[in-house]
Structure 1
Amino acid sequence: MGGKRVLIVGGTGYLGQHLLQGFSEIQGTPYDLAFTYHSKLPQALLDAIPHLLAFHVDLRTGQGFEAISQTFGQPDVVVNCAALSVPRACEMDPTATMSINVPSSLVNWLSNFEESSTLLIHLSTDQVYEGVKSFYKEEDETVPVNVYGKSKVAAEQLVSEKCLNFAILRSSIIFGPQTISPVPRSLPIQWMDGVLSKGEKGDFFHDEFRCPVYVKDVVSIILALTSRWVSEGKQMQLLLNVGGPDRVSRVEMAEAVAHIRGYDTSLIKAVSASSVDRGVKSPADISMNITKLVQTLNISPVSFKDGVKLTLAAEAKF
């Protein structure tokens, strides 16, 4: 092991797998990679990426972190992608949500090391915002309307109070190609493509707005933060909105898929988000201003349309 050590917590999830792939594809392999998993270890992931170390960790109890210290050592960078992120499931089990989404055991484990020598990159969400205006900025008040959002605000508070060296990324809906080992939840663009390709009418919300971000852009952002920390060693305490440049409703998302694929747009039926009971309160407009992201890292995420094109082109290869 000669490289800098990177640990992805929640490495079998959607973003986690894309990150492991992104890190492993860097020329000259400057990073030693490890990841944590909770339920089962996908063999396909280990087969596809050589030299990966996998650790079974229970975030609720912190069981498993000790083994990482012994086998892998102190990581230079930890990316925390682990979360219960289905808002409705979070609403039904607030206790589990808080114990997993607020990374106390991870932060406690990191406090065993020399304080500022590990960078923690923590994934948060646009759902920390109330959703009553457009283009939220990082300094806007966080007023989450559901348990998921509340758990992520609590996590942000924990990280910023207890860690000296961190970047908190408030991510919007992350979309893109399927992972090496397919994730169980349905992916937004693939789901829309599936509905429309059957020629069936689908209901889509016209009054809920997000800034969906292409997964490879999120990977680039995390790689840039990692490389900045590893090369400059300057401590950071950073909070960034991570969204795409476009504020879109579900109707507009579906329309983009229809235009690219040549589907009939009359299949897209616009309905109000208030007409459906999803068992959880959902913020109406949590679009984000990403000026700070672009200025800090000099990365401009691709447009929603281009991201959809890239996603559908990647799916066609499978």
Structure 2
Amino acid sequence: MSRKRVLIVGGTGYLGQHVLQGFSEIQETTPCDLAFTHHSSPPPQALLNAFPSVLPFSVDLKSGNGFEAISHQFGPPDVVVNCAALSVPRACEMDPAAAMSVNVPSSLVNWLSSLEESNYLLIHLSTDQVYEGVKSFYKEDDEVVPVNVYGKSKVAAEQFITEKCSNFAILRSSIIFGPQTISPVSKSLPIQWVDGVLSKGNTTEFFHDEFRCPVYVKDVVAIILALSKTWISEAKQRKLVLNVGGPDRVSRVQMAETVADIRGYNLSLIKSVSSSSLDRGVMSPADISMDITKLVQTLGISPISFRDGVRLTLEL
């Protein structure tokens, strides 16, 4: 059997780097050729040093410039993992056109569709922000009613993929947390940020009325690897939408309290406030906790608890 080709779109981002690492670690059992796209030029040297056999490609997702080079130098991919996104809700709110042009992967899908003998699985990262946030534990077949531009761009992406792709897995991810990447990303990481402010002894405000199901990054990687391995070995048609969250519904206050408890910080540093007390320049859904029964039943993967994930994050 010829070696399969895996392309990670957005390979220099937080999840992208963890996914690259995950595929590199399974080379003995599931050998595959790896490539990734990056928008930042040049790609981080630390990443190239860590994965010397992986091919980097500079790609502009808005225009599609760069995909042809992948066709010529790498070939048509068997698995594509799309981690690229404008994922800061406020930035999306300020520039809806940019959010739509990056978050709806039209140039990527159009390129894949143009390849001859192309039979690929697209694993696409969506978000829990497709849900309205007015109840607990959303299921995949609940209505999607996003309250901000970021969520709307992700719903548009899901609709585009569902219409255009024969084989896909759409992963509606909650907040992804975990250790820093091989080439550190500049964006603030949630657990590290909480740890940082509390370690300085600063009293900090956290919302008590905004609920999520944060998911440990290595669990997200395990889900992506499981989907990829099944596709590589069986290539059965797959049209899948999965909630990808951790098992715990936690408020921002509870997230901070968990960090404080593990680190031994004074809980009085955590000031509980309502999300309505702050204007963030963007609507934020109150409760987009997710039911992950379908994920567990479909893939046999049970994400670890929030507390265990925080402990692993802070140990590393």
- Would the TM-score normalized by the shorter structure come out above 0.5? yes
State the distance in 2 between where 1:228 and 1:26 align: 13
Q: Is the 8 A contact 2:76 2:118 kept in 1?
A: no
Deviation at 1:49, TM superposition (A): 1.4
CA RMSD of aligned residues (A): 1.2
**1:30 and 2:41 matched:** no
**1:58 and 2:60 matched:** yes
State the distance in 2 between where 1:241 and 1:114 align: 32
State the distance in 2 between where 1:173 and 1:116 align: 33
Deviation at 1:113, TM superposition (A): 2.6
State the distance in 1 between where 2:126 and 2:120 align: 19
TM-score, normalisation: structure 2: 0.98
How has the CA–CA distance of structure 1 residues 297 and 115 changed in structure 2, closer, same or farther, with 3 Å as cutoff? farther
State the distance in 2 between where 1:99 and 1:309 align: 37
Partner of 1:117: 119
Identity in percent: 79
State the distance in 1 between where 2:32 and 2:257 align: 40
Identify the range of structure 1 (104-113 vs 83-92) with the bigger mean alpha-carbon deviation. Answer: 104-113
TM-score, normalisation: structure 1: 0.97
State the distance in 1 between where 2:178 and 2:221 align: 11
Q: Is the 8 A contact 1:97 1:148 kept in 2?
A: yes
State the distance in 2 between where 1:37 and 1:207 align: 36
How has the CA–CA distance of structure 1 residues 228 and 88 changed in structure 2, closer, same or farther, with 3 Å as cutoff? same
State the distance in 1 between where 2:128 and 2:76 align: 30
Look up the equivalent residue of 1:102 and give its one-letter code: V
Partner of 1:12: 12
Q: Spell out structure 1 runs of 4+ moving beyond 6 A.
A: none
State the distance in 2 between where 1:115 and 1:93 align: 37
State the distance in 2 between where 1:59 and 1:71 align: 18
SS state of the match for residue 111, structure 1?
helix
State the distance in 1 between where 2:16 and 2:23 align: 11
**1:265 and 2:270 matched:** no
SS state of the match for residue 36, structure 2?
strand
Q: What per-residue deviation string (whole Å, max 9, x for no partner) do you get for residues 79-136 of structure 1?
A: 0010000000000000011000000000100101357610000000000000000000
Deviation at 1:225, TM superposition (A): 0.0
**1:256 and 2:261 matched:** no
State the distance in 2 between where 1:176 and 1:99 align: 28
Matches within 5 A, 1:117-196: 117-196=119-198
State the distance in 2 between where 1:297 and 1:257 align: 29
Q: What per-residue deviation string (whole Å, max 9, x for no partner) do you get for residues 258-304 of structure 1?
A: 11011111110001111011000000000000000000000000000
Q: Is the 8 A contact 2:138 2:288 kept in 1?
A: yes
SS state of the match for residue 245, structure 1?
coil
Which consecutive unaligned segments of at least 5 residues does structure 2 have?
Answer: none
Partner of 1:277: 279
Equivalent residues, number: 314
Deviation at 1:3, TM superposition (A): 2.4
SS state of the match for residue 250, structure 2?
coil
Deviation at 1:4, TM superposition (A): 1.1
Deviation at 1:188, TM superposition (A): 0.3
